[in-house]
């Protein structure tokens, strides 16, 4: 018999427990100042405390499809407050995803979220009572009163991040221009990243030729007219080494109650040995789980790098107004 979590693996549940999640958009936690951008720690703290209360309220008023689910869920009152928009947060702060500073930010952000979630659950325990299985838990043995057996998780937030207009989970940008296939009743969307468009315009290296090249390729790697600083800041998932992917996950997972869903994107030329190396390194870092995806390994994948088309040639071209973005 095999017992497993859902495929993404961000929440491991006991039989009949339910998955109760909500997401904080980290790109909205960046404060614009006269000399640049910084993290709004107070706003983040307030959002975390509100998010934990919201998720506990969901458990309180939820309607359950079976009595076993209600019983198991209420016994431990597990919640998973998660994040999305981490890559956009780094871009707004001017920090490349693949660097030591990004790992430090990941560590600090998730430690802050974890601490505030603990404070919120402790306050709810005094207000509403501890979760029923508290005495049998590690928290009961330690005398730490909490309303929720778990409080944080990192999920993919694929659809949610599209709705919110930000980057998914703690993933780097997949591409700066790409096809999103089979969405909205089978439509194919072409998307250009508005943060990059605004960045290029502000630093005066944007051109229609650059935009067309970006639409064709999806990344900045081979575009000579783009400054190296921009290439570093807007490096995409396939341009980031597996080690840097894993370091970011490890930083977040250190302060996460449940688990982390994270994908290491490998190029189409990746070998079986390359995949093995990623899994072995993830094990060395003590990660609970990891996903590896070799680009092009499925004939029909949701995200495709570049488009090879101009906006006028495609019926569904999605471009946000770059002037309205945060950078």
User: CA torsion, points 14, 24, 184, 210, in degrees to nearest 10?
Assistant: -130
**Closest by CA position to 173, among listed 109, 220, 245, 235:** 235
User: CA torsion, points 279, 280, 286, 292, in degrees to nearest 10?
Assistant: -10
Cα–Cα distance measured from residue 293 to residue 274, given in angstroms and rounded to the nearest whole number: 11
Neighbours of 245 (CB within 10 A): 26
Has 19 been annotated as catalytic? no
| β-bridge mates for residue 177, sequence order | 192
Measured on CA atoms in the order 304, 11, 110, 127, is the torsion positive or negative? Answer: positive
Catalytic residue among 3, 10, 37, 211: 10
Cα–Cα distance measured from residue 325 to residue 160, given in angstroms and rounded to the nearest whole number: 18
Has 8 been annotated as catalytic? yes
Beta-carbon contacts of residue 23 (< 8 Å; ≥ 6 apart): 81, 82, 83, 84, 155, 157, 160, 164
Catalytic residue among 8, 116, 148, 239: 8
Catalytic residue set = 6, 8, 10
């Amino acid at each position: 018999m095999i017992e497993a979590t859902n495929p993404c693996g961000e929440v491991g549940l006991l039989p009949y427990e339910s998955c109760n999640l909500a997401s904080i958009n980290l790109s909205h936690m960046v404060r614009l100042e006269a000399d640049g951008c910084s993290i709004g720690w107070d706003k983040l703290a307030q959002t975390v405390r509100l998010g934990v209360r919201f998720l506990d309220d969901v458990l309180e008023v939820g309607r359950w499809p079976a009595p076993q689910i209600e019983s198991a869920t209420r016994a431990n009152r597990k919640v998973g407050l998660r994040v999305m928009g981490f890559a956009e947060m780094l871009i707004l702060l001017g920090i490349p995803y693949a660097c030591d500073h990004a790992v430090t930010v990941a560590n600090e952000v998730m430690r802050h979220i974890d601490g505030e979630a603990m404070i919120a659950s402790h306050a709810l325990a005094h207000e509403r009572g501890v979760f029923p299985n508290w005495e049998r838990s590690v928290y009961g043995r330690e005398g730490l009163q909490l309303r929720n057996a778990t409080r944080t998780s990192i999920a993919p937030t694929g659809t949610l991040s599209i709705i919110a207009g930000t980057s998914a989970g703690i993933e780097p940008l997949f591409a700066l221009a790409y096809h999103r296939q089979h969405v909205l009743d089978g439509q194919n969307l072409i998307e250009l990243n508005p943060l990059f468009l605004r960045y290029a315009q502000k630093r005066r290296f944007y051109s229609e030729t650059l935009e067309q090249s970006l639409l064709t390729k999806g990344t900045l790697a081979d575009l000579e007219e783009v400054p190296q600083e921009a290439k570093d800041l807007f490096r995409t998932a396939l341009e980031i080494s597996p080690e840097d992917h894993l370091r970011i996950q490890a930083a977040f997972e250190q302060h996460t109650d449940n688990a982390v869903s994270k994908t290491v994107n490998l190029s189409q030329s990746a070998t079986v040995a390359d995949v093995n190396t990623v899994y072995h390194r993830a094990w060395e870092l003590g990660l609970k789980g990891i996903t590896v995806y070799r680009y092009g390994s499925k004939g029909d994948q949701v995200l495709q790098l570049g488009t090879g088309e101009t906006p006028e040639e495609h019926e569904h071209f999605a471009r946000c107004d770059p002037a309205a973005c945060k950078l």
